[in-house]
Structure 1
Amino acid sequence: MKKILKVLIFLLAPSNIFGQLTPMTNQYVLNPIIINPSCAGARGTLNMATFYRNQWVGIDGSPKTMTLAVDAPLLNKKIGLGLIIVNDKIGVKKDNQFILNYAFNINLGESFLSMGLGAGITMTNVSWSDLVVLDPGDELYLVDSRVFIIPDFSFGLYYTNKNYFAGFSMPQFLTARFNSDKNGYTLANDPKQYNYLFNTGIELEFATNFKFFPSALFIYTPGEKLQYDINAHFGFRDLIRIGGSYRNNRSIAAMLQVQLNNQLRIACSYDFDVGKLRRYSAGSYEIMVRYLFSYKVDAINPVNF
């Protein structure tokens, strides 16, 4: 019983503080717009990707996230626009997030520098009626919370050339704390709650038709331990990629990507927990489908392909 209570407390603890970080995905290397608004339109064509992530399989009420990301270049690729829609559920808490991203691209000759801004809202509520309680007639759990609308903003920079990329972003500036006296969220711009993200990667060709793609993501929050995600993928003829990642003291992931044709790519991953949750969870899995609306892609950012 104590173990179950610990897991429940772990799942529900963040529910009174909102705005820490957009739900993470293993596929951010393929779709960096999820963590950096300046990547909108970076592929040089209309791009659409959808994800499904089931985290901590085997734990009742564990996070389940569905994401749709669409972006495209405009004005001869000088700017990019993007839309991200996220449906995230943890226990009885549900969030629906809508984000618009804008990116401005500067041509540096052999490379590009992009600057981006993001703005959006999150609609969040708690379905108390979904809880299994000892007293089904308890009025406290018969009525769901009202839907709260929380605004947010993000900022990003992105540099790329033929074989290398580096990005810096600050997603979700605003922090929202639940105020029980007002039965609502109070917004705050607290630098101590900012998340600073830096990611980088390179493409290396070590044999004919074979490529190696190492990359890394670092997340820093003041007062917290540095988080990092180290990735490595091997590719064959741009048709298939096999690789993995290590997230510090949390999980090891196996990943597979398959390019079905010039436009359609699918990817999947499975996380093996190596932290304290490994005793309760059977891991996490994720599926992604990406479609490019063009056969010939003049991409600003080929590294993330």
Structure 2
Amino acid sequence: MKSILRLFLLLLIPVFATAQQDPQFTFNNELNSYVNPSFVINDYKLNVIAQHRQQWVGFDGAPVVTLINASYNIEKARSGIGISLLSDQLGAQYNGAAVINYAFDGRIGEHHLIPGIQMGLLLNTLDGSELDPIDGGDPNIVSEKGRAMTFDLGLSLAYRWKRLAIGFSTKHLTAPTLKYSDSNAVSEYTVARHYYFYSSYEAHLGKHLLLKPITFLKTDAASTQFDAQLWVRWQRSREGV
């Protein structure tokens, strides 16, 4: 029997201060298939994970994000499937998503080239009654709650070789524009394309120590954010060997 100690060191480096539309998560490695469907093919037969994130607790309109991610490997078909459910509340705006992920393992020896696709629905709600515009009666700002739904599409590609993993993906390929209207105004919200790059490597140092550096970059072409993580795992037997 072995006891395992994991130490997560997180370094967050924002390249620009401008906010992006897709939510931010801390442990991107565990939620990879939401932004990159190629990673529904992973080291697990069945993998289910959920993350709930609250920021600026106590402030009105503070961000609240919940993501449920599930994936299943179909080894005989060299494929993986999965589902992602997102709930993202920020002030007067709510974003929800329900998407299906699929990937195929184009394996050649120890090399794995894995294309993936993501399809589903986006739901967006804007509560105009929660807004405080400078000029009342603005024809571009609704005064009531409006809802809109649209189709969403994403593509990805990942490469895995032994302990190395690299992935690139893009979400919201169609860049849809959602419209909300009431009796006096019409508001529009365009979902920008997002691009993601991921890399990780597992380095075994001796019998007990494993280091896993992880890099994660995301951009919507208007702002960019870069995260770097270092996972440290120490394993030892009960006998101390």
| TM-superposed deviation, 1:179 | 4.8
**Mapped partners of 2:225, 2:190: distance in 1:** 25
Quick one: which amino acid aligns to residue 193 of structure 2? Y
Residues 113 and 21 (structure 1), Cα distance of their counterparts in 2 relative to 1, 3 Å cut: farther
Aligned to 2:64: 64
Structure 2 residue ranges without an equivalent (≥5): 1-17, 134-141
Aligned to 2:197: 198
- TM-score (norm: length of structure 2): 0.75
Q: Is the 8 A contact 2:203 2:212 kept in 1?
A: yes
**Mapped partners of 1:70, 1:83: distance in 2:** 5
| TM-superposed deviation, 1:205 | 1.5
Higher percent of residues as strand:
2
Q: Any idea what SS the aligned residue of 2:119 has?
A: strand
The number of residue pairs the alignment matches comes to 209
Q: Any idea what SS the aligned residue of 1:218 has?
A: strand
**Mapped partners of 2:154, 2:29: distance in 1:** 18
Per-residue CA shift, 1:18-44, capped at 9, x if unaligned? xx6532211221231021011113234
Q: Is the 8 A contact 2:101 2:119 kept in 1?
A: yes
Quick one: which amino acid aligns to residue 92 of structure 1? A
Residues 113 and 238 (structure 1), Cα distance of their counterparts in 2 relative to 1, 3 Å cut: farther
Instruction: Indicate whether 1:87 and 2:87 are aligned.
Output: yes
Quick one: which amino acid aligns to residue 76 of structure 1? K
Q: Any idea what SS the aligned residue of 1:76 has?
A: helix
Residues 174 and 69 (structure 1), Cα distance of their counterparts in 2 relative to 1, 3 Å cut: same
**Mapped partners of 2:236, 2:186: distance in 1:** 53
Residues 123 and 195 (structure 1), Cα distance of their counterparts in 2 relative to 1, 3 Å cut: closer
Q: Is the 8 A contact 1:37 1:156 kept in 2?
A: yes
Higher percent of residues as helix:
1
**Mapped partners of 1:179, 1:83: distance in 2:** 27
Quick one: which amino acid aligns to residue 145 of structure 2? D
**Mapped partners of 2:68, 2:179: distance in 1:** 31
- TM-score (norm: length of structure 1): 0.60
Structure 1 residue ranges without an equivalent (≥5): 1-12, 15-19, 134-139, 240-305
Quick one: which amino acid aligns to residue 201 of structure 2? I
- Structure with the bigger RCO (C-alpha within 8 Å, sep 6+) is 2
Aligned to 1:144: 145
Q: Any idea what SS the aligned residue of 1:153 has?
A: strand
**Mapped partners of 2:180, 2:233: distance in 1:** 52
- How much is the aligned-residue C-alpha RMSD, in angstroms? 3.0
Residues 225 and 148 (structure 1), Cα distance of their counterparts in 2 relative to 1, 3 Å cut: closer
Aligned to 2:227: 229
Q: Is the 8 A contact 1:21 1:172 kept in 2?
A: no
Per-residue CA shift, 1:236-260, capped at 9, x if unaligned? 2299xxxxxxxxxxxxxxxxxxxxx
